[in-house]
Chain A
Amino acid sequence: MHRTGELYGQFETLEQQKDSAALGMWIFLVTEVLFFGGMFMTYTVNRHEFFTAFGVGGNTLDIKLGTTNTIVLIMSSLTMAMAVWSAQTGRKKLVTTFLILTLGLGGVFLGIKGIEYKQKFDHHLIPGHNFDISYRVNHPEPGEDPQLLAAEREELAKAWAADPNLNSHAQLYVSLYFAMTGLHALHMVVGAGLLLWLLSQAVKQRFTPSYNTPVEIVGLYWHFVDIVWIYLFPLLYLIDRHR
């Protein structure tokens, strides 16, 4: 097994090794763009086809939680970039600090996602037999603002009038919501695993100005996961938003 930082046998120089690693990660990210792209295409076609139902579906998402998550993830990209900078400028202790911060923010994101998923479960919005887009307005929580509730009921009534298959089509929205955010969350979990591995190296102060390629390429991956969310957030949460 090779220790990190050594020149691997197939390469002639460390520079060649570093260039290869970076190019490899960029190409991998291109494949990820195409991977998510297929789902974005499916989403776009369906959003166009079932605008009403997707509007209703989108409004079931909690904008406060979504916005918080967006800010959390952008901050984690910042801390990741700071980790890369620290490695490049020889601030070995800071590398560890920023990696831990990135991991922490990533964990916050996943936690909030979990809360959102639980909300969906509570509101009978999991695709399947019990999916009921009208469940929430018919079973309001105690203490909810009656005016907002009435507005929601009216919206829903108009939507049902416009689309007799509202439940099916809204279920399509939620299926895509779970598929897209689920795939994204899976990538974040993988990213968290990579960060843990980086951390195991960083605490041993392995990263120096002359050797920090792993931090850089994991950084690239983390930024990519962030950018996917930057697209997901407006597409899922912000289009046709009423509240």
Chain B
Amino acid sequence: MPREHYLNATYGIRSWLLTTDHKRIALLYLASVTFFFFVGGIFAAMIRIHLLTPNGLLVSPETYNKLFTMHGVAMIFFFLIPSIPAVIGNFLIPIMIGAKDLAFPKINLLSWYIYLAGGCFVLYSFSTGGLDTGWTFYTPLSSVYSNSAVTPAVIGIFINGFSSILTGLNFIVTIHTMRAPGMTWFRLPLFVWAHYAVSLVMILGTPVIAITLLLAGLERVFHLGFFNPALGGDPILFQHLFWFYSHPAVYIMILPAMGVISEIIPTFARKEIVGYGFIAGSSIAIAVIGFLVWAHHMFVTGESTYAALAFSFLSYLVAVPSAVKVFNWSATLYKGSISFDTPMLYALGFIGLFLIGGLTGLFLACLGLDIHIHDTYFVVAHFHYIMVGGAVMGYLGALHFWWPKITGRLYPEFLARIAALVLFIGFNLTFFPQFILGYLGMPRRYHNYPPEFQVLNVMSTAGASILAVGYLLPMVYLVWSMRYGKVAGPNPWPATGLEWTTDSPPLTENFRVTPEVTWEPYDFRNRPELGLQVGASLAPAHGDD
């Protein structure tokens, strides 16, 4: 371990709570998103236990509505959206581009405090009556009729949005103005490209949910009528405004994970990524096209056939850049020298589960099919495959891949592989039955179901208990490794990328001397210092053509 690094540079609670070091801020976020993951996870556990019997085992119907709402709000706004960008992105982006910190370190810290403030309002809402509107806050239930604590929740999410916006702003400016000499746009790691695309979505989409929730909140508090049909307002307008952000929001959740996979696959295939330009471009394409598909959440609201046609077509279109990534990752694996370290297990799991989740999204985008499976467990399974099988596995893969860099220590590899396997099995057992349930017609957000669906529901709950073990294991051994793990050294894998040229853990200022970049990304051939035996069977390095 280096003698001085960012963790021991200064001591005391103030040096952490008032830090402007992007790496420390990343760890502050790690603690808070993990907390909200627990909050959301507890609600999920209660849902699954409740659904063990057809008439519901645990709670009243009204309480059940609160469970799935609070599960969604906690997981989406306070875990998934910040997770990779605020933890991994914050930590890595300056190092990956050769900078000492982000462009606006104090705004970075402010982002975290804003996140906490939003979180406090939402926790207050959860503990004083809860929330029963669904995370989608459809009006006029949310703005007029609900008797739950909607107003503080809406305030909390509004505030939290600014955390997202400021993070995105910080990333965009940093990537534009603070790249080290020689770090041209097309030498950037694909993780950085992914976060650039995510930041575009964050800054363009989040303000819209902010104003939408503000209007809904004003309606609730001052009895205005924007979305209340009794006063001439339009609930469908709310849905349009809400989904205009909330669809791009799902790309905020998946794009960073895709960036992570683009880093892990070449490393553990010991091979340059295939189609760098295509992967970089597809991130931008997903971000752009993602803004054009929102009304596919509204196919059964009575929108015109022509509108539905357009949104269905665009929804199919947005799958193309995602598929481009999957093809390129697969091509990278082909004839690579593959090892199954834990990050690779998560990355391979991601590819398979994201594939299923993405394809089932296309089933939903098909107008005729959507009539039958809209608002059923098919949708629930679809988005959990992407958000859990995709985004969360990407997050865990990232945590494991960069854990040596963040902490200077290795996690226990054997136990970690077991945990990844347990997670994969638990995940599929939880959510695959839900595809079948949805197809058979079980509606979502219902506290009960017909008795013939019980077997599949019990399977799903059993899977959830295994999934929980898969989540708890890393929490235990990662913490254990911070004290007792083997010392990692700067580049344990080894991987290309500027971050692996720094100490593990890095200095506060990341680099002693500003690096000058003369090599292409993922160029395993021309980096003898990585100690890899590069044979003729590997693909030619970029630039050899």
Binding partners A and B? yes
B537 within 8 A of A: no
A169 within 8 A of B: yes
* Other-chain contact of A31, B203, B222, B226 (Cβ < 8 Å): B203
Which residues 100-131 in B have Cβ within 8 Å of A in the complex? Answer: 100-105
* Other-chain contact of A172, B100, B102, B205, B231 (Cβ < 8 Å): B231
Q: Is the CB of A128 within 8 A of B223?
A: yes
How many angstroms from the CA of A27 to the CA of B203 in the assembled complex?
Answer: 8
Beyond A127-B224, A172-B225, whether A38 also contacts B100 by CB under 8 A is no
Cβ of A38: which chain B residues have Cβ within 8 Å of it?
Answer: 207-208, 210-212, 215, 241, 244
B178 within 8 A of A: yes
How many angstroms from the CA of A212 to the CA of B165 in the assembled complex?
Answer: 26
- Shortest CB–CB separation between residue A150 and chain B, in angstroms? 28
Q: Is the CB of B215 within 8 A of A42?
A: yes
Cβ of A41: which chain B residues have Cβ within 8 Å of it?
Answer: 241
Q: Is the CB of A45 within 8 A of B104?
A: no
A39 within 8 A of B: yes
B169 within 8 A of A: yes
B99 within 8 A of A: yes
B233 within 8 A of A: yes
How many angstroms from the CA of A88 to the CA of B169 in the assembled complex?
Answer: 27
Q: Is the CB of A9 within 8 A of B241?
A: no
- Shortest CB–CB separation between residue B14 and chain A, in angstroms? 15
Cβ of B225: which chain A residues have Cβ within 8 Å of it?
Answer: 168, 171-172, 175
Cβ of A9: which chain B residues have Cβ within 8 Å of it?
Answer: 100-101, 509
- Shortest CB–CB separation between residue A222 and chain B, in angstroms? 19
Cβ of B232: which chain A residues have Cβ within 8 Å of it?
Answer: 50, 165, 168-169, 172
A197 within 8 A of B: no
A-facing mask of B235-256, CB < 8 A → 1, else 0?
0010001001000000000000
* Other-chain contact of B215, A24, A27, A32, A179 (Cβ < 8 Å): A179
* Other-chain contact of A35, B207, B233, B514 (Cβ < 8 Å): B207
Cβ of A27: which chain B residues have Cβ within 8 Å of it?
Answer: 169, 172-173, 203
Cβ of A46: which chain B residues have Cβ within 8 Å of it?
Answer: 226, 234
- Shortest CB–CB separation between residue B443 and chain A, in angstroms? 30
B contact face: mostly helix, strand, loop, or mixed: helix
A-facing mask of B175-192, CB < 8 A → 1, else 0?
011100000000000000
How many angstroms from the CA of A146 to the CA of B36 in the assembled complex?
Answer: 65
Cβ of A45: which chain B residues have Cβ within 8 Å of it?
Answer: 234, 237
Cβ of B244: which chain A residues have Cβ within 8 Å of it?
Answer: 38
B-facing mask of A24-48, CB < 8 A → 1, else 0?
1001101110111111011001100
Q: Which of B101, B169, B174, B218 has the most CB of A within 10 A?
A: B169
**Stretch from A10-18, A60-68, A73-81 at the B interface:** A10-18
How many angstroms from the CA of A23 to the CA of B172 in the assembled complex?
Answer: 9
Cβ of A165: which chain B residues have Cβ within 8 Å of it?
Answer: 232
A130 within 8 A of B: no
Interface size class of A (residues with CB under 8 A): 35 or more
Which residues 31-77 in B have Cβ within 8 Å of A in the complex? Answer: none
Q: Is the CB of A172 within 8 A of B222?
A: no
Q: Using CB atoms, name the residue of chain B closest to A41.
A: B241
Q: Is the CB of B211 within 8 A of A127?
A: no
Q: Is the CB of A20 within 8 A of B104?
A: yes
Q: Is the CB of B177 within 8 A of A19?
A: yes
Q: Is the CB of B177 within 8 A of A20?
A: yes
Q: Which of A10, A19, A39 has the most CB of B within 10 A?
A: A10
A176 within 8 A of B: yes
A122 within 8 A of B: no
Cβ of B102: which chain A residues have Cβ within 8 Å of it?
Answer: 10
- Shortest CB–CB separation between residue B58 and chain A, in angstroms? 38
- Shortest CB–CB separation between residue B95 and chain A, in angstroms? 12
How many angstroms from the CA of A39 to the CA of B227 in the assembled complex?
Answer: 12
* Other-chain contact of A168, B208, B231, B234, B237 (Cβ < 8 Å): B231
* Other-chain contact of B169, A11, A28, A35 (Cβ < 8 Å): A28
Cβ of B212: which chain A residues have Cβ within 8 Å of it?
Answer: 38
- Shortest CB–CB separation between residue A238 and chain B, in angstroms? 22
How many angstroms from the CA of A176 to the CA of B204 in the assembled complex?
Answer: 22
Cβ of B211: which chain A residues have Cβ within 8 Å of it?
Answer: 35-39
Q: Using CB atoms, name the residue of chain B closest to A24.
A: B173
Measured CB to CB, the residues of B under 8 A from A are: 94, 99-105, 165, 169-170, 172-174, 176-178, 203-208, 210-212, 215, 218, 222-226, 231-234, 237, 241, 244, 509, 514
The 3 A-B pairs of least Cβ separation, nearest first, read A38-B211, A35-B207, A10-B101
> Given A16-B178, A24-B169, 7 other A-B contacts at CB below 8 A?
A10-B94, A12-B514, A31-B169, A32-B207, A34-B207, A41-B241, A49-B234
Show 9 residue pairs from A and B whose CB-CB distance is below 8 angstroms, ordered by the A residue: A9-B100, A20-B103, A20-B104, A23-B176, A24-B104, A34-B203, A38-B212, A39-B215, A128-B222
